A and B are shown apart, each in its own frame.
Chain A
Amino acid sequence: MKHYLTILFLACGVWISAAQTNDITNTVAGATADLTTNATTNAVAEMPALASTNSITAGTNHPAASRPKEKITIHSEGPYEMDLNNRWITYQDRVRVTDQQMVMTCDWLMANLPQNNEHITNIVAQTNVIGDFTDDKNQKWHVTGDKGVYAYHVVDGVTNETITLTGNPPQIQEGQDTNTMTGDAIVYNIVTKKVTIKNPTSVFWYGTNSVAGTNSMAPKF
Protein backbone atom coordinates (compact mmCIF):
# COMPACT_ATOMS: atom_id res chain seq x y z
CA MET A 1 0.00 0.00 0.00
CA LYS A 2 2.79 2.27 0.91
CA HIS A 3 3.87 3.09 -2.57
CA TYR A 4 1.01 2.03 -4.67
CA LEU A 5 -0.07 5.35 -5.99
CA THR A 6 3.21 7.05 -5.54
CA ILE A 7 4.54 4.84 -8.23
CA LEU A 8 1.51 5.53 -10.29
CA PHE A 9 2.68 9.08 -10.17
CA LEU A 10 6.06 7.90 -11.27
CA ALA A 11 4.51 6.13 -14.19
CA CYS A 12 2.51 9.13 -15.17
CA GLY A 13 5.53 11.32 -14.70
CA VAL A 14 7.36 9.26 -17.22
CA TRP A 15 5.07 10.48 -19.92
CA ILE A 16 5.94 13.96 -18.84
CA SER A 17 9.59 13.12 -18.98
CA ALA A 18 9.19 11.96 -22.51
CA ALA A 19 7.92 15.34 -23.47
CA GLN A 20 10.05 17.61 -21.39
CA THR A 21 12.65 18.78 -23.82
CA ASN A 22 13.01 19.69 -27.41
CA ASP A 23 15.11 16.61 -27.74
CA ILE A 24 12.05 14.47 -28.00
CA THR A 25 10.78 16.76 -30.68
CA ASN A 26 13.99 16.26 -32.51
CA THR A 27 14.05 12.58 -32.02
CA VAL A 28 10.48 12.23 -33.04
CA ALA A 29 11.16 14.22 -36.13
CA GLY A 30 14.30 12.26 -36.70
CA ALA A 31 12.40 9.05 -36.62
CA THR A 32 10.06 10.19 -39.30
CA ALA A 33 12.26 9.02 -42.10
CA ASP A 34 12.42 5.54 -40.69
CA LEU A 35 8.72 5.48 -40.18
CA THR A 36 8.14 6.62 -43.71
CA THR A 37 10.31 3.85 -44.99
CA ASN A 38 8.73 1.22 -42.89
CA ALA A 39 5.16 2.31 -42.88
CA THR A 40 3.95 -0.58 -44.98
CA THR A 41 5.90 -3.28 -43.19
CA ASN A 42 5.82 -4.80 -39.77
CA ALA A 43 8.79 -2.74 -38.83
CA VAL A 44 9.50 -1.30 -35.45
CA ALA A 45 10.70 2.25 -35.54
CA GLU A 46 12.91 3.18 -32.65
CA MET A 47 13.79 6.71 -31.81
CA PRO A 48 17.12 7.73 -30.39
CA ALA A 49 17.53 7.96 -26.66
CA LEU A 50 15.86 10.94 -25.10
CA ALA A 51 17.84 13.44 -23.17
CA SER A 52 15.09 14.43 -20.85
CA THR A 53 16.05 16.51 -17.89
CA ASN A 54 13.85 15.23 -15.13
CA SER A 55 13.27 11.67 -16.09
CA ILE A 56 13.46 8.89 -13.58
CA THR A 57 15.90 6.30 -14.75
CA ALA A 58 17.68 3.29 -13.45
CA GLY A 59 21.23 2.20 -13.69
CA THR A 60 22.95 5.55 -13.77
CA ASN A 61 25.83 6.58 -11.59
CA HIS A 62 24.51 10.02 -10.90
CA PRO A 63 23.97 10.86 -7.25
CA ALA A 64 20.42 10.85 -6.06
CA ALA A 65 18.77 14.23 -6.08
CA SER A 66 15.69 15.50 -4.36
CA ARG A 67 12.90 17.31 -6.01
CA PRO A 68 10.23 19.50 -4.47
CA LYS A 69 7.12 18.14 -2.86
CA GLU A 70 4.85 16.79 -5.52
CA LYS A 71 1.13 16.35 -5.57
CA ILE A 72 -1.08 14.26 -7.75
CA THR A 73 -4.82 13.91 -7.68
CA ILE A 74 -6.88 11.01 -8.95
CA HIS A 75 -10.60 11.43 -9.26
CA SER A 76 -13.17 8.89 -10.37
CA GLU A 77 -16.90 8.70 -10.22
CA GLY A 78 -16.52 5.26 -8.72
CA PRO A 79 -16.54 2.59 -7.76
CA TYR A 80 -13.04 2.27 -6.41
CA GLU A 81 -11.88 -1.08 -5.15
CA MET A 82 -8.92 -2.00 -3.02
CA ASP A 83 -8.29 -5.73 -2.77
CA LEU A 84 -5.75 -6.39 -0.06
CA ASN A 85 -5.70 -10.14 -0.62
CA ASN A 86 -5.00 -10.03 -4.32
CA ARG A 87 -3.11 -6.76 -4.03
CA TRP A 88 -4.97 -4.63 -6.58
CA ILE A 89 -6.64 -1.26 -6.63
CA THR A 90 -9.11 -0.24 -9.31
CA TYR A 91 -10.62 3.09 -10.25
CA GLN A 92 -13.65 3.15 -12.51
CA ASP A 93 -15.73 5.68 -14.42
CA ARG A 94 -14.26 8.98 -15.57
CA VAL A 95 -10.87 8.49 -14.04
CA ARG A 96 -8.84 11.67 -14.09
CA VAL A 97 -5.22 11.87 -12.99
CA THR A 98 -3.71 15.33 -12.66
CA ASP A 99 -0.57 17.00 -11.51
CA GLN A 100 1.11 20.28 -12.32
CA GLN A 101 2.14 19.26 -15.80
CA MET A 102 -0.34 16.73 -17.01
CA VAL A 103 -3.88 15.47 -17.13
CA MET A 104 -4.64 11.87 -17.97
CA THR A 105 -8.12 10.50 -18.28
CA CYS A 106 -9.46 7.03 -18.86
CA ASP A 107 -12.47 4.95 -17.97
CA TRP A 108 -10.70 2.34 -15.89
CA LEU A 109 -7.43 2.27 -14.02
CA MET A 110 -5.91 -0.68 -12.22
CA ALA A 111 -2.64 -1.01 -10.33
CA ASN A 112 -1.06 -3.68 -8.23
CA LEU A 113 -0.35 -3.05 -4.56
CA PRO A 114 3.26 -3.81 -3.75
CA GLN A 115 4.28 -4.99 -0.33
CA ASN A 116 7.27 -4.39 1.86
CA ASN A 117 8.50 -1.40 -0.10
CA GLU A 118 8.64 -3.39 -3.30
CA HIS A 119 8.30 -1.67 -6.62
CA ILE A 120 4.93 -1.56 -8.27
CA THR A 121 4.97 -3.84 -11.31
CA ASN A 122 1.76 -3.20 -13.22
CA ILE A 123 -0.55 -0.30 -13.95
CA VAL A 124 -3.23 -0.54 -16.59
CA ALA A 125 -5.28 2.38 -17.86
CA GLN A 126 -8.02 1.29 -20.19
CA THR A 127 -10.65 2.73 -22.52
CA ASN A 128 -10.43 6.25 -23.88
CA VAL A 129 -6.96 6.87 -22.51
CA ILE A 130 -6.09 10.51 -23.11
CA GLY A 131 -3.05 12.34 -21.86
CA ASP A 132 -2.23 16.03 -22.12
CA PHE A 133 1.16 17.18 -20.99
CA THR A 134 2.98 20.45 -20.89
CA ASP A 135 6.74 20.32 -20.81
CA ASP A 136 9.15 22.77 -19.20
CA LYS A 137 9.29 24.78 -22.40
CA ASN A 138 5.53 25.09 -22.42
CA GLN A 139 5.25 22.69 -25.33
CA LYS A 140 2.01 20.78 -25.22
CA TRP A 141 1.70 17.11 -26.04
CA HIS A 142 -1.37 14.99 -26.53
CA VAL A 143 -1.50 11.20 -26.51
CA THR A 144 -4.49 8.97 -27.05
CA GLY A 145 -5.09 5.25 -27.04
CA ASP A 146 -7.33 2.55 -25.75
CA LYS A 147 -4.96 0.99 -23.28
CA GLY A 148 -1.88 2.12 -21.44
CA VAL A 149 0.26 -0.35 -19.54
CA TYR A 150 3.10 0.39 -17.18
CA ALA A 151 5.31 -2.63 -16.49
CA TYR A 152 8.32 -3.03 -14.25
CA HIS A 153 10.41 -6.18 -14.05
CA VAL A 154 13.91 -7.05 -12.98
CA VAL A 155 15.37 -10.11 -14.65
CA ASP A 156 18.90 -11.22 -13.82
CA GLY A 157 19.62 -7.83 -12.39
CA VAL A 158 18.43 -6.01 -15.48
CA THR A 159 15.59 -3.57 -15.03
CA ASN A 160 12.87 -3.46 -17.64
CA GLU A 161 10.48 -0.58 -17.19
CA THR A 162 8.12 0.45 -19.96
CA ILE A 163 4.89 2.20 -20.75
CA THR A 164 2.99 0.82 -23.72
CA LEU A 165 0.06 2.54 -25.34
CA THR A 166 -2.10 0.51 -27.71
CA GLY A 167 -5.47 0.48 -29.37
CA ASN A 168 -7.69 2.86 -31.19
CA PRO A 169 -4.83 3.28 -32.58
CA PRO A 170 -2.43 4.99 -30.18
CA GLN A 171 -1.34 8.42 -31.26
CA ILE A 172 1.12 11.10 -30.21
CA GLN A 173 0.42 14.67 -31.17
CA GLU A 174 2.63 17.66 -30.68
CA GLY A 175 0.96 20.84 -29.52
CA GLN A 176 -1.60 22.57 -31.68
CA ASP A 177 0.08 21.43 -34.83
CA THR A 178 -0.81 18.46 -36.89
CA ASN A 179 2.37 16.65 -35.97
CA THR A 180 1.09 13.19 -35.19
CA MET A 181 2.24 9.61 -35.30
CA THR A 182 0.26 6.41 -34.97
CA GLY A 183 1.05 2.71 -34.99
CA ASP A 184 0.11 -0.56 -33.39
CA ALA A 185 1.84 0.41 -30.17
CA ILE A 186 3.78 3.30 -28.73
CA VAL A 187 6.34 2.03 -26.26
CA TYR A 188 8.35 4.25 -23.98
CA ASN A 189 11.29 2.48 -22.39
CA ILE A 190 11.92 4.29 -19.15
CA VAL A 191 15.34 2.81 -18.63
CA THR A 192 16.76 3.59 -22.04
CA LYS A 193 14.51 6.62 -22.57
CA LYS A 194 13.62 5.46 -26.04
CA VAL A 195 10.25 5.74 -27.70
CA THR A 196 9.37 2.97 -30.12
CA ILE A 197 6.49 2.95 -32.55
CA LYS A 198 5.56 -0.60 -33.42
CA ASN A 199 4.18 -1.12 -36.90
CA PRO A 200 3.84 2.59 -37.64
CA THR A 201 0.83 3.31 -39.77
CA SER A 202 0.79 7.03 -40.29
CA VAL A 203 3.03 9.98 -39.66
CA PHE A 204 2.36 13.64 -40.08
CA TRP A 205 5.35 15.53 -38.83
CA TYR A 206 6.24 19.01 -39.89
CA GLY A 207 9.92 19.67 -39.88
CA THR A 208 10.18 22.81 -37.81
CA ASN A 209 12.19 21.04 -35.16
CA SER A 210 13.73 18.36 -37.25
CA VAL A 211 17.19 17.05 -36.60
CA ALA A 212 18.37 18.55 -39.84
CA GLY A 213 17.22 21.91 -38.63
CA THR A 214 15.03 22.67 -41.60
CA ASN A 215 11.71 24.37 -41.49
CA SER A 216 10.11 22.10 -43.96
CA MET A 217 6.37 21.96 -43.64
CA ALA A 218 5.95 18.96 -45.84
CA PRO A 219 4.04 16.25 -44.08
CA LYS A 220 5.49 12.80 -44.28
CA PHE A 221 3.67 9.54 -44.49
Chain B
Amino acid sequence: MGGRAQQIPVGGNATDFSSVQYYQPPHEQQIKSRMSGAEADPIEGGLLLIRQLKLEAFNEKGELQFVVTAPQCIYDPMKGLATSTGELHMRTGDSQVQVDGKGFLWRQASSLLTISNQVQTVIEKAGAVIR
Protein backbone atom coordinates (compact mmCIF):
# COMPACT_ATOMS: atom_id res chain seq x y z
CA MET B 1 0.00 0.00 0.00
CA GLY B 2 1.08 3.57 0.33
CA GLY B 3 2.75 5.41 -2.47
CA ARG B 4 1.39 8.45 -4.10
CA ALA B 5 -2.34 8.47 -4.16
CA GLN B 6 -4.65 10.28 -6.43
CA GLN B 7 -6.06 13.45 -4.98
CA ILE B 8 -9.32 14.78 -6.28
CA PRO B 9 -10.84 17.89 -4.79
CA VAL B 10 -14.51 17.29 -4.98
CA GLY B 11 -15.37 20.90 -4.67
CA GLY B 12 -18.27 22.46 -2.83
CA ASN B 13 -19.24 25.85 -1.56
CA ALA B 14 -19.13 27.96 1.53
CA THR B 15 -21.37 25.62 3.44
CA ASP B 16 -20.37 22.30 2.01
CA PHE B 17 -16.79 21.23 1.45
CA SER B 18 -15.09 17.93 0.83
CA SER B 19 -11.80 16.72 -0.61
CA VAL B 20 -11.30 13.08 -1.43
CA GLN B 21 -8.16 11.05 -1.96
CA TYR B 22 -8.30 7.68 -3.72
CA TYR B 23 -6.06 4.66 -3.60
CA GLN B 24 -3.84 3.83 -6.52
CA PRO B 25 -4.71 0.88 -8.79
CA PRO B 26 -5.90 -1.75 -8.33
CA HIS B 27 -7.94 -0.06 -5.60
CA GLU B 28 -8.54 3.17 -7.47
CA GLN B 29 -12.24 2.99 -6.79
CA GLN B 30 -11.72 3.03 -3.05
CA ILE B 31 -11.59 6.23 -1.09
CA LYS B 32 -8.41 6.52 0.95
CA SER B 33 -9.33 9.65 2.86
CA ARG B 34 -12.09 12.17 2.81
CA MET B 35 -11.91 15.58 4.42
CA SER B 36 -15.12 17.51 4.82
CA GLY B 37 -16.39 20.55 6.62
CA ALA B 38 -19.64 22.25 7.37
CA GLU B 39 -18.22 25.54 6.14
CA ALA B 40 -15.21 26.52 4.06
CA ASP B 41 -14.32 30.18 3.85
CA PRO B 42 -11.53 31.44 1.57
CA ILE B 43 -8.76 33.32 3.35
CA GLU B 44 -5.44 34.82 2.28
CA GLY B 45 -2.99 32.83 0.23
CA GLY B 46 -5.54 30.62 -1.39
CA LEU B 47 -6.22 28.86 1.88
CA LEU B 48 -9.55 27.75 3.26
CA LEU B 49 -10.79 28.06 6.80
CA ILE B 50 -12.78 24.92 7.39
CA ARG B 51 -15.21 24.71 10.27
CA GLN B 52 -16.45 21.50 11.81
CA LEU B 53 -13.77 19.46 10.18
CA LYS B 54 -14.31 15.76 9.66
CA LEU B 55 -11.45 13.68 8.33
CA GLU B 56 -12.05 10.04 7.55
CA ALA B 57 -9.55 7.40 6.44
CA PHE B 58 -10.45 4.04 4.93
CA ASN B 59 -8.57 0.89 4.03
CA GLU B 60 -8.61 -0.72 0.59
CA LYS B 61 -11.75 -2.62 1.49
CA GLY B 62 -13.59 0.57 2.24
CA GLU B 63 -13.60 -0.04 5.98
CA LEU B 64 -13.33 3.02 8.16
CA GLN B 65 -9.96 3.22 9.88
CA PHE B 66 -10.38 6.42 11.83
CA VAL B 67 -12.30 9.67 12.03
CA VAL B 68 -10.79 12.95 13.10
CA THR B 69 -13.01 15.82 14.12
CA ALA B 70 -11.98 19.35 15.00
CA PRO B 71 -13.79 22.64 15.44
CA GLN B 72 -11.78 24.16 12.62
CA CYS B 73 -8.61 24.01 10.58
CA ILE B 74 -6.84 25.81 7.78
CA TYR B 75 -6.61 23.83 4.57
CA ASP B 76 -4.16 24.42 1.76
CA PRO B 77 -5.78 22.76 -1.26
CA MET B 78 -2.67 23.18 -3.42
CA LYS B 79 -0.41 21.38 -0.97
CA GLY B 80 -3.01 19.13 0.52
CA LEU B 81 -2.22 20.25 4.06
CA ALA B 82 -4.65 20.80 6.90
CA THR B 83 -3.42 22.47 10.06
CA SER B 84 -4.82 23.74 13.30
CA THR B 85 -3.59 24.93 16.65
CA GLY B 86 -6.83 23.88 18.26
CA GLU B 87 -8.08 20.65 19.70
CA LEU B 88 -8.91 17.54 17.80
CA HIS B 89 -10.51 14.23 18.55
CA MET B 90 -9.83 10.98 16.76
CA ARG B 91 -11.47 7.60 17.08
CA THR B 92 -10.89 4.36 15.28
CA GLY B 93 -13.56 2.77 13.15
CA ASP B 94 -14.49 0.35 15.91
CA SER B 95 -14.44 3.18 18.49
CA GLN B 96 -12.16 1.18 20.76
CA VAL B 97 -9.39 3.76 20.51
CA GLN B 98 -9.94 7.45 21.17
CA VAL B 99 -7.21 10.05 20.76
CA ASP B 100 -7.35 13.67 21.85
CA GLY B 101 -4.72 16.31 21.35
CA LYS B 102 -4.00 19.92 20.66
CA GLY B 103 -2.69 21.16 17.35
CA PHE B 104 -2.34 18.99 14.28
CA LEU B 105 -1.07 18.71 10.75
CA TRP B 106 -2.61 16.39 8.18
CA ARG B 107 -0.53 15.71 5.08
CA GLN B 108 -3.06 14.44 2.63
CA ALA B 109 -0.70 13.09 -0.03
CA SER B 110 1.38 11.05 2.39
CA SER B 111 -1.51 10.22 4.73
CA LEU B 112 0.48 11.42 7.70
CA LEU B 113 -1.24 12.84 10.75
CA THR B 114 0.81 14.69 13.33
CA ILE B 115 -0.68 15.76 16.63
CA SER B 116 1.48 18.41 18.21
CA ASN B 117 0.75 18.50 21.91
CA GLN B 118 -0.95 16.87 24.87
CA VAL B 119 -1.77 13.61 23.19
CA GLN B 120 -4.09 11.40 25.19
CA THR B 121 -5.05 7.97 23.91
CA VAL B 122 -7.67 5.85 25.61
CA ILE B 123 -8.15 2.24 24.60
CA GLU B 124 -11.17 0.40 25.84
CA LYS B 125 -11.54 -3.19 24.87
CA ALA B 126 -14.46 -5.24 26.09
CA GLY B 127 -14.33 -8.99 26.41
CA ALA B 128 -10.79 -9.48 25.27
CA VAL B 129 -10.23 -13.11 24.46
CA ILE B 130 -7.51 -14.93 26.30
CA ARG B 131 -6.22 -17.78 24.23
* Size band of the interface chain A makes with B: 35 or more
Q: Is there contact, CB below 8 Å, between A71 and B124?
A: yes
Q: Is there contact, CB below 8 Å, between B1 and A5?
A: no
B92 at the interface (CB under 8 A from A): yes
Known: A67-B128, A69-B124, A80-B99. A85 touches B118 (CB 8 A): no
Give Cα distance in the complex from A56 to B99, angstroms: 26
Shortest distance in angstroms between A91's beta carbon and chain B's nearest beta carbon?
7
Q: Is there contact, CB below 8 Å, between B129 and A65?
A: yes
Q: Is there contact, CB below 8 Å, between B120 and A77?
A: no
- Which of chain A's residues have a CB closer than 8 A to the CB of B103? 78
Q: Which residues of A contact B (CB under 8 A)?
A: 1-2, 4-6, 8-9, 54, 56-58, 60, 62, 64-67, 69-87, 91, 115-116
Q: Which residues of B contact A (CB under 8 A)?
A: 1-3, 57, 59, 61, 65-66, 92-94, 96-97, 99, 101-103, 110-131
Q: Is there contact, CB below 8 Å, between B119 and A80?
A: yes
Shortest distance in angstroms between A154's beta carbon and chain B's nearest beta carbon?
14
Q: Is there contact, CB below 8 Å, between B116 and A1?
A: no
Q: Is there contact, CB below 8 Å, between B127 and A67?
A: yes
Ordered by A's residue number, 10 sampled pairs between the chains whose C-beta atoms are within 8 Å are A2-B65, A8-B123, A66-B129, A67-B128, A69-B125, A73-B122, A78-B117, A83-B111, A84-B113, A87-B1
- Which of chain B's residues have a CB closer than 8 A to the CB of A2? 65, 92-94, 96
- Which of chain B's residues have a CB closer than 8 A to the CB of A8? 123
- Which of chain A's residues have a CB closer than 8 A to the CB of B113? 81-82, 84
Q: A4's contact among B97, B101, B119, B125, by CB below 8 Å, is which?
A: B97
Shortest distance in angstroms between B33's beta carbon and chain A's nearest beta carbon?
8
Shortest distance in angstroms between B82's beta carbon and chain A's nearest beta carbon?
14
Q: Is there contact, CB below 8 Å, between B66 and A1?
A: yes
Q: A73's contact among B2, B65, B121, B128, by CB below 8 Å, is which?
A: B121
Known: A5-B97, A80-B99. A64 touches B92 (CB 8 A): no
Give Cα distance in the complex from A42 to B19, angstroms: 59
Shortest distance in angstroms between B89's beta carbon and chain A's nearest beta carbon?
13
Give Cα distance in the complex from A164 to B121, angstroms: 24
Give Cα distance in the complex from A73 to B100, angstroms: 11
Give Cα distance in the complex from A85 to B115, angstroms: 17
Q: Is there contact, CB below 8 Å, between B129 and A64?
A: yes
- Which of chain A's residues have a CB closer than 8 A to the CB of B119? 74-80, 91
- Which of chain A's residues have a CB closer than 8 A to the CB of B127? 66-67, 69
Q: Is there contact, CB below 8 Å, between B129 and A77?
A: no
Give Cα distance in the complex from A73 to B115, angstroms: 16
Shortest distance in angstroms between A13's beta carbon and chain B's nearest beta carbon?
9
Q: Is there contact, CB below 8 Å, between B123 and A72?
A: yes
Q: Is there contact, CB below 8 Å, between B131 and A64?
A: yes
- Which of chain B's residues have a CB closer than 8 A to the CB of A76? 119
Chain B, Cβ-Cβ closest to A10 = B128
Q: Is there contact, CB below 8 Å, between A58 and B121?
A: no
Q: Is there contact, CB below 8 Å, between B118 and A78?
A: yes
